Amino acid sequence: MTRLFMKDAHVSAAKIDSILLTRTDKVRKIMETNGTFIQFPALASQRSMIRIQGLEGLHVERTCRELMLMSVQFYSASWWIQQPPNQAPLQPSSTRNKGDAG
């Protein structure tokens, strides 16, 4: 009887989409080298779980490690402007340059 090893990994949905759009050749090479299967969620599904399956636990772990190393090449950033609680909210008219006529 053949045992199947599985491992679930969580990667941000944006990183999964980037991998699916730009690195499918590398993903295919990882699967072929380790004899594993990587199940990704559908593109733009906003799901963050990847499942790795293989016949050897070591190969599943190697696949997971290589996939995680690939995912750290992508990053995302956000900026939030926070208003102090005692200050009035900014209005478009208050953010103009002093030299503007309008």
**Domain map of the chain by residue range?**
5-71
Instruction: Quickly name the fold that domain 5-71 has.
Output: Ribosomal Protein S8; Chain: A, domain 1 (3.30.1370)
pTM: 0.71
Residues 6+ apart with CB under 8 A from 37: 31, 52, 53, 54
Question: Which pLDDT score is estimated for 34?
Answer: 98
pLDDT along the chain (102 residues), means of 10: 95 94 97 98 96 98 96 79 75 63 54
